[in-house]
Structure 1
């Protein structure tokens, strides 16, 4: 019988479990959101940085060495942060360095720029980078420090401007406007970042719960499938071998009981390899299925008409094995409860598209509804076994006899 093809359950089982080696995959949305934030920050910071650079270049004609040093100290970390955001590596470190360096450069501004050479209406080039320092903190620091940067950096800038203007009235007016604008914008930026990250974290948490719930359901389904398969195995092999041994009276009956016991022990020994994967891994022809049905009749010591119709095709090994075992159980029921009267087997092949096996007898029949769930001969050995391979099983029983129809369709 062929190995079970890769199914949805198999694919899902490859997803790392919570807390496992691949736990990073559970932050998929969060990581994607961080990438989006870094890209947006890179674009916005590049625009503001270009404006600051243009404004700074206009002062180079009269800039001294400390001023040039200030340009390098600010723009080199800024360029490193932009590069890190674009390539998606080292974003937190590069952003943290720029956020700290910018605050230090801003605090040192009065010592670099000559206050007497400035008027209140002129905005220094370092002003354009106030909110860049805030977004750098957004990428690098935890939430409390982000809000600290969004509030502290504008006030540091305001204090620096007032020092530069010697706290004159004109500087108070323009500086108050600049500080209020950058303060509001910085708080809004940090709040939006916190909101987007919270939404992404919520999505990841919901996904984690869904995966855990599915894993629990899959485990329960696998346990139930194993229980049904084991129950069918116990009923088909072990109990059948015990009954055959009890009823063995002649030499042929004793040989049959020994063969059944040997098969039961072999199948029990192979349960660790999964009872649903017994037999060969190769596809089975419909003609071979008919041969197996004839062999089952011989082992049961029953006489029956075996009719074969349709084209010969190949059936997946697991489906063929399940169909043969279910048909064998139906034959055993017919022999045990109906004495094998009027036993007839019809195997209808549909090429490679599927197969249908009909087993009928003219016994007294039985009431299918009255069979308890603990009776495994029909529920586990026939219905559950065929359902496990996406097959069908139908039983019609009455005073005129019993008909069992087993089918497997590739579609």
Structure 2
């Protein structure tokens, strides 16, 4: 399996999952993101309702000292409004909730100071009491589990302490205050537990989902590898072994020619396996079509080159499979030059020549010979051909084997001054 095939398998696996904007946030957060968004939205709506109740209660409050009421309500309800807005729109929820949770603790700490001299009525709740559990909810949105526990337990207890300080620790105030604190602790514990449960379930769903995708990808990769093995086995049996058996059993000139043709076809299919290209039509093609193909393929590789053409307009056409093999081998040489030499001094030339064709006398066996030669050269640092690993088929398979399949030759001349790849194919004119 190649890297491209592995990537294709993973793409196929993810293709079975919704690809909306929210669904592609990040690996392993598919459900968690939705749970967080739902919690923030519900928290925003609930906080707006309780906050409105506390705000209207604060309008008639007379416990604060003159000049402190506006500052304290601004410190409490300003961050609360920002938290509600953030929860409704789903942006900046953690920051806004964290600011409110801290600002509420500051308000509680200031409460004995701003209410100095006032005596609370037993069984009554000041407006700040309605914000106690909102601060617990804010901690659930903003902090990790340890700080959530601190706020869930600490905020109600701090409220009870400051009310006792305000009332001078009178006995009549203690029993109703214990009930208020107990109710805040219970409600805060429920909010904390719900947040923890929902997030844990979402995390488990994400983990299970990721495992399912991995299992699917592994199964698909195994199936693809098995199919590839069958395809290679079928190719080896149908083409390579058949050609070898035919060559071994050939006894006549015709049978030997057939074995050579079968071997060439097998080499061509092997050389074209990477591009998944078959032989296609064998209709004659002009030599200029090969140069055009090289220029087009080079542009697709990101290099604009002009192939130097040295052949007459009436140059003999060449078979289609030969033209494709020459163009593909030349393109591989261009790709090698771009990859390993940076395309330094890259030049491509296509020449065609005919020897003896015009002077041949029909009926006297004087057939001429035509040849096509393509040279791909660069001025890069060159390389040592003997050190190229055996599993690198860019030269051996895509160039040398491809030319061998059509009866051509490939010569690679490389050194410190650059590399030149010469491809040549000859055929007789009859």
Normalised-by-shorter TM-score class: 0.5 to 0.7
C-alpha displacement of 1:140: 0.7
Query: Are the equivalent residues in 2 in contact too, given 1:95–1:137 (CA < 8 A)?
Result: yes
Query: Are the equivalent residues in 1 in contact too, given 2:119–2:166 (CA < 8 A)?
Result: no
Structure 1 consecutive aligned stretches of length 4 or more whose deviation exceeds 6 Å: 60-63
Gaps (5+ residues) in structure 1?
A: 1-6, 17-21, 281-411
C-alpha displacement of 1:15: 8.4
C-alpha displacement of 1:258: 1.5
C-alpha displacement of 1:63: 6.5
Query: Are the equivalent residues in 1 in contact too, given 2:65–2:114 (CA < 8 A)?
Result: no
Q: Which has the higher contact order (CA 8 A, sep 6+)?
A: 1
1:58 paired to 2:60 = yes
Quickly say closer, same or farther: Cα 1:61–1:130, change in 2 above 3 A: closer
1:206 paired to 2:208 = yes
Name the structure 1 match of 2:100: 98
CA deviations 1:176-197 (Å, max 9, x no partner) are 1100100111111101111111
Query: Are the equivalent residues in 1 in contact too, given 2:86–2:96 (CA < 8 A)?
Result: yes
Name the structure 2 match of 1:315: none
Distance (Å, rounded) in 2 between the aligned partners of 1:124 and 1:226: 75
More helix as a share of residues: 1
C-alpha displacement of 1:107: 1.2
Q: Which of 256, 277, 282 is the aligned partner of 2:258?
A: 256
Query: Are the equivalent residues in 1 in contact too, given 2:29–2:206 (CA < 8 A)?
Result: yes
C-alpha displacement of 1:11: 2.8
CA deviations 1:276-302 (Å, max 9, x no partner) are x7466xxxxxxxxxxxxxxxxxxxxxx
Name the structure 2 match of 1:375: none
Distance (Å, rounded) in 1 between the aligned partners of 2:235 and 2:247: 17
Aligned-residue CA RMSD in angstroms? 2.6
Residues 7-406 of structure 1: pairs in structure 2 closer than 5 A = 10-12=11-13, 24-59=26-61, 64-116=66-118, 118-273=120-275, 278=278
Distance (Å, rounded) in 2 between the aligned partners of 1:237 and 1:80: 73
Gaps (5+ residues) in structure 2?
A: 1-7, 18-23, 281-430
CA deviations 1:95-121 (Å, max 9, x no partner) are 111111111111111111244253223
Distance (Å, rounded) in 1 between the aligned partners of 2:116 and 2:81: 26
| 2:121 aligned counterpart, secondary structure | coil
Distance (Å, rounded) in 1 between the aligned partners of 2:58 and 2:156: 20
Quickly say closer, same or farther: Cα 1:62–1:107, change in 2 above 3 A: closer
Query: Are the equivalent residues in 2 in contact too, given 1:67–1:113 (CA < 8 A)?
Result: no
> TM-score scaled by structure 1?
0.61
Quickly say closer, same or farther: Cα 1:23–1:40, change in 2 above 3 A: closer
> TM-score scaled by structure 2?
0.59
Distance (Å, rounded) in 2 between the aligned partners of 1:96 and 1:61: 27
Quickly say closer, same or farther: Cα 1:60–1:167, change in 2 above 3 A: closer
C-alpha displacement of 1:122: 2.8
C-alpha displacement of 1:163: 0.8
Query: Are the equivalent residues in 2 in contact too, given 1:29–1:203 (CA < 8 A)?
Result: yes
Query: Are the equivalent residues in 2 in contact too, given 1:120–1:165 (CA < 8 A)?
Result: no
Query: Are the equivalent residues in 2 in contact too, given 1:77–1:97 (CA < 8 A)?
Result: yes
Distance (Å, rounded) in 2 between the aligned partners of 1:42 and 1:13: 33
Count of aligned pairs between the two proteins: 269
